[in-house]
């Protein structure tokens, strides 16, 4: 009986620890503090993405875009990208970043990243934040499938790379591309309806299963 109670206690403590971790990540994502957001990322770190099409790894480099890389580091280590879909896939880029939860995406849409100069280049494998005007980077990222050097200077400031795929470009190349560009207004519906909209309208899209930050 005493041994049985001991195992119950161990299980309860383990479950409590998992709950605390989950609550901690939930708090970090849904109510981030200015102090936490201001914490700088390491100068260089890798993020391993496990997806429904295979794995790939991105090396992020803070020297290329300090504010952008700080944001990636924060979101990745708290699991923001897990469950998201690769919702845009054309011969030039693969785009992802919506969490699939409208309430969560709304938090981060309200915390845009200030613009920074382009220090890297949008060559094949480079990863950059999408942007739709001054100071509009938030959580959407794209991976260049070809050399898109025009992205370095176009669009009133260009797209500063934040990292590069160092393993798994073959995974990027085989992501589901049957839909190509989604219907007009699709990104607005992803933002307001999340993965429910994508499951109904674009069920074959590949998704991110797990994200692991490694030094």
Each residue's pLDDT tens digit, 69-98: 999 999 999 999 999 999 999 999 999 999
Q: Quick one: pLDDT band at residue 215, thresholds 50, 70, 90? A: confident
Q: Mean of the pLDDT values across residues 137-153?
A: 98
Q: What percent of the chain has pLDDT over 90?
A: 86
pLDDT value for 179: 92
Mean pLDDT over all residues of the chain?
90
Residue 10 has pLDDT above 90, yes or no: no
Task: List the Cα angle 213/41/21 in 5-degree steps.
Answer: 50
Q: Quick one: pLDDT band at residue 110, thresholds 50, 70, 90? A: very high
Q: Mean of the pLDDT values across residues 61-75?
A: 98
Q: Mean of the pLDDT values across residues 126-138?
A: 97
Give the 3-state secondary structure of residue 48. Answer: strand
φ, ψ (nearest 5 deg) of residue 68: -65, -45
CATH class of the domain whose range is 32-214: mainly beta
Residue 5 has pLDDT above 50, yes or no: no
Each residue's pLDDT tens digit, 12-24: 333 344 333 334 5
Q: Quick one: pLDDT band at residue 180, thresholds 50, 70, 90? A: confident
| Continuous segment of H or E residues that includes residue 169 | helix 169-174
């Amino acid at each position: 009986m005493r041994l049985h109670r001991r195992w119950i206690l161990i299980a309860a403590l383990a479950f409590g620890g998992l709950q605390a971790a989950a609550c901690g990540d939930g708090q970090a994502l849904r109510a981030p503090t200015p102090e936490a957001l201001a914490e700088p990322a390491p100068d260089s770190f890798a993020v391993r993405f496990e997806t429904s099409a295979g794995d790939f790894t991105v090396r992020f480099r803070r020297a290329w875009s300090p504010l952008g890389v700080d944001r990636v580091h924060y979101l990745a280590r708290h699991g923001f990208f897990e469950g998201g879909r690769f919702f845009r896939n054309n011969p030039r880029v693969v785009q992802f970043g919506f969490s699939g939860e409208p309430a969560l995406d709304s938090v981060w849409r309200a915390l845009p990243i200030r613009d920074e100069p382009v220090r890297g280049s949008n060559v094949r494998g480079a990863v950059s934040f999408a942007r739709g005007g001054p100071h509009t980077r938030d959580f959407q990222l794209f991976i260049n499938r070809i050399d898109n050097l025009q992205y370095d200077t176009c669009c009133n400031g260009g797209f500063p790379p934040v990292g590069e795929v160092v393993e798994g470009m073959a995974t990027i190349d085989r992501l589901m591309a049957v839909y190509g560009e989604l219907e007009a207004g699709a990104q607005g519906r992803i933002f307001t309806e999340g993965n429910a909209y994508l499951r109904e309208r674009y069920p074959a899209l590949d998704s991110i299963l797990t994200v692991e930050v490694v030094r």
